[in-house]
């Protein structure tokens, strides 16, 4: 298949490399100077897209996706498929998919979970929105770049699934970290806390698979001085998207709103930017009930 790949950053570059390794002919474009073995770089996004059967985008946000889509959609061949794997707001995903359909293209919004490690290993999970026909084109590529793809519904459903999942993740991480900090103050050993909670009703992915306490549970960013992993800044981005969507849909999400406010404080005021999102634990360790 001829594939155009636009946005070859931390996630896009290894995803494109996996498509090349599977035998696809990939032409790429990025604003930055990028070089990937076996990939032909184009001078513009439109040039990367105009001969492609499928164009994959992996971009920072909805505004950039809209700008790139406005450039490439008119240059794509009728019947080609646009697969956006970026995490963006639901409205941008729906609008871009509509523009693609209006131009005679198929469109899928397919944000991922699994991070940079999953992108490199080809073990991402794709959450896809779009028609059955569009998903059928995209699915074999998801199988190369990932280990699971769920067709969540019509356009925007992939982004909806992603932000709901990550709202749960952000809230749960905070709850896990504040519980560890409370356990510390109660004199409860962290390993005992893990042994109990990981096998009791308080268990969660953040406790069992990604424990925020160094030296406890399986290896996680906490064991590597909280180097990401999944950066607090990206968690803040996803929590903001969840609250933007909640606002638009008039959904009451008090825990998501509070998680967003805490990550915002952590990232923008408390030097949490660039740390893993589990670094909420050392943050809580330094605090008391009267901390601002
Ligand atoms: P990144 O910043 O490393 O990569 C984005 C790339 O897009 C950069 O190389 C940048 O130069 C390029 N770009 C920006 N504007 C462009 C334009 N107009 N035309 C062409 N290229 C342009 O980001 P990333 O970590 O690869 O994340 C990409 C997306 O994946 C984001 O939406 C992010 O939320 C999502 N995501 C990231 C992770 C993660 O762990 N990094 C996990 C899941 C989802």
pLDDT in tens, 134-167: 999 999 999 999 999 999 999 999 999 999 999 9
Q: Is 162 a catalytic residue?
A: yes
Atom of ligand 1 nearest to the CA of 32: 11
Q: What is the pLDDT of residue 292?
A: 85
Distance from C-alpha of 226 to C-alpha of 16, rounded to nearest angstrom: 28
Distance from C-alpha of 110 to C-alpha of 125, rounded to nearest angstrom: 9
Name the residue with the closest Cα to ligand 1, atom 5.
9
Q: What is the pLDDT of residue 115?
A: 87
The closest alpha carbon to 100, from 144, 133, 125, belongs to: 133
Task: Evaluate whether 118 touches 128 at the Cβ level (below 8 Å).
Answer: no
Q: Please tell me which residue in 43, 148, 162, 192 is annotated as part of the active site.
A: 162
Distance from C-alpha of 155 to C-alpha of 87, rounded to nearest angstrom: 13
Mean pLDDT by 10 residues, the chain (292 residues): 97 98 98 96 98 98 98 98 97 98 98 93 98 98 98 98 97 98 98 98 97 97 95 97 97 98 98 97 97 89
166 lines ligand 1 (CB under 6 A): no
Global pTM value? 0.94
273 lines ligand 1 (CB under 6 A): no
55 lines ligand 1 (CB under 6 A): no
């Amino acid at each position: 298949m001829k594939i155009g790949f636009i946005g070859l950053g931390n996630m896009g570059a290894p995803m494109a490399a996996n498509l090349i390794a599977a035998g696809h002919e990939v032409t790429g474009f990025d604003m930055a100077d990028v070089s990937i073995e076996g990939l032909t770089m184009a001078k513009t996004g439109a040039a990367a897209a105009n001969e492609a059967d499928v164009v994959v985008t992996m971009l920072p946000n909805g505004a950039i996706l809209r700008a790139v889509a406005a450039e490439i959609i008119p240059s794509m061949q009728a019947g080609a498929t646009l697969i956006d794997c970026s995490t963006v707001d639901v409205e941008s995903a729906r609008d871009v998919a509509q523009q693609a359909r209006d131009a005679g293209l198929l469109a899928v919004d397919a944000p991922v979970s699994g991070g940079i490690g999953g992108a490199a290993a080809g073990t991402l999970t794709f959450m896809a929105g779009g028609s059955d026909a569009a998903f059928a084109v995209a699915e074999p590529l998801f199988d190369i770049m990932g280990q699971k793809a769920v067709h969540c519904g019509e356009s925007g459903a992939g982004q909806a699934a992603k932000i709901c999942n990550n709202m749960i993740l952000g809230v749960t991480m905070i709850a896990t970290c504040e519980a560890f900090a409370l356990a510390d103050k109660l004199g409860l050993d962290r390993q005992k806390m893990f042994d109990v909670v990981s096998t009791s009703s308080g268990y969660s992915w953040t406790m069992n698979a990604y424990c925020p306490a160094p030296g406890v549970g399986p290896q996680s960013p906490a064991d590597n001085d909280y180097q990401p992993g999944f950066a607090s800044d990206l968690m803040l981005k996803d929590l903001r998207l969840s609250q933007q969507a909640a606002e638009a849909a008039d959904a009451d999400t008090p825990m998501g709103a509070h998680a967003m406010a805490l990550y915002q404080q952590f990232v923008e005021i408390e030097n949490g930017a660039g740390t893993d999102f589990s670094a909420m634990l050392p943050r809580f360790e330094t605090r008391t009930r009267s901390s601002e």
